[in-house]
Amino acid sequence: MQSLIENLFDNKPAAYTAADRELFTQFLAALNAGRIRAAEPDPAAASGWRVNPWVKKGILLGFRMGVNIDMSVGTLSFCDKDTYPTKCIPAAHNIRIVPGGSSIREGVYLGQNVTCMPPMYINVGAYVDDGTMVDSHALVGSCAQVGTHCHISAASQIGGVLEPVGALPVIIEDDVLIGGNCGVYEGTIVKRRAVLGTGTILNRSTPVYDLVRNTIHRATEDDPLVVPEGAVVIAGARAITNGPGKDWGISVYTPVIVKYRDAKTDTRIQLEDLLR
C-alpha cells in the first residue's frame, strides 16, 4: 500500500479512477483500524517516536481526490469532501459519544472505552488510545497521537501537524492529564504520566523551565520540545531583563515544571476515573 499511495501522491493523474478510489478506501480502513499511523513509537529515535510521511501523503491524497458533497443532517447544514464523512462508531468498542454536537472524522482511530464529551472534535489521522477522555470543547488535531487513559480537559487543543509530511505531529503519551484551556502545538511530545496545569501552552518557540532538575527543555531545529515523564507543568512568567521591557517591568509567558508526579498528584486526579 505504501508504494501505491506514494506513487499516486507524487504523480497526480488527470483524473482519479475507480481503482484509485478503492486504494484510498483501503487506506482509510487501515487508519480507522489503527493498522497504520501517521506517527508511531520508535525506541531507536531520540524522541522515542518517528513520523510516517507516506501516511500523511495518503491523508492529503484524500483531500485532493475528494469532491464537496452535501452532508447535512436534518436542519444542520454541512458540506465536505466525500472522502471524509463522519466516523461510524461500532457499538462493540464501548466508545461513548455523548449527545451534543461532537464530530469525529473518518480516518481516526479510537480505542476501546474512549469517552467523548460534547461538543468536541477529532480530526483525520488522529490516534486516540484505550480509555482516554476527550472533554467538552476540546480539539484533537490532524495526525495527533494520544495514548491510553489520558484526559484532554475542557477547551484544550491538541494540535496536529499534517504538513509538511515529514514533520512529527503532537504526541501525548499514556496516562497524561491535559488541564483545561491548554494548548499543545508544533510536534511537541508530552511524555507519559505528565500533568499540564490549566492554561499551559507548549510549542517549539517557548522553552520549559524545570525548577526541579535545574534545566531548560527546548526544541531544536531537528528535535521537538519534549516534556519529561511525570512532569507537572504550570503556566508561569519570566521577567525581561534588559531594554524597555525591564524598565517597564514586563514579563513573558513561560511554562514551568514545578514538581514531578507523586502519590499526592495521583490522588487529586483519580476522581476522573469515575466519569469514564
In this prediction, residue 33 carries a pLDDT of 95
Model pTM? Answer: 0.94
Sign of dihedral through CA atoms 131, 135, 140, 146? negative
Is pLDDT above 90 for 88?
Answer: no
pLDDT tens profile 27-80:
999 999 999 999 999 999 999 999 999 999 999 999 999 999 998 988 889 999
In this prediction, residue 218 carries a pLDDT of 97
Q: Indicate the range of 67-71, 184-188, 262-266 predicted with least confidence.
A: 262-266
Domains along the chain with CATH numbers = 96-275 (2.160.10.10)
The three cell numbers locating residue 272: 476522573
In this prediction, residue 268 carries a pLDDT of 66
* Geometric angle at alpha carbon 199, from 161 and 129, rounded to 5°: 50
Distance CA 122, CA 102 (A): 9
Of 64 and 263, more confident:
64
pLDDT tens profile 201-243:
999 999 999 999 999 999 999 899 999 999 999 999 999 999 9
Is pLDDT above 70 for 273?
Answer: no
Burial 79-91 (b: 16+ CB within 10 A, else e): ebbebbeebeeee
In this prediction, residue 264 carries a pLDDT of 75
pLDDT tens profile 93-150:
899 999 998 999 999 999 999 999 999 999 999 999 999 999 999 999 999 999 999 9
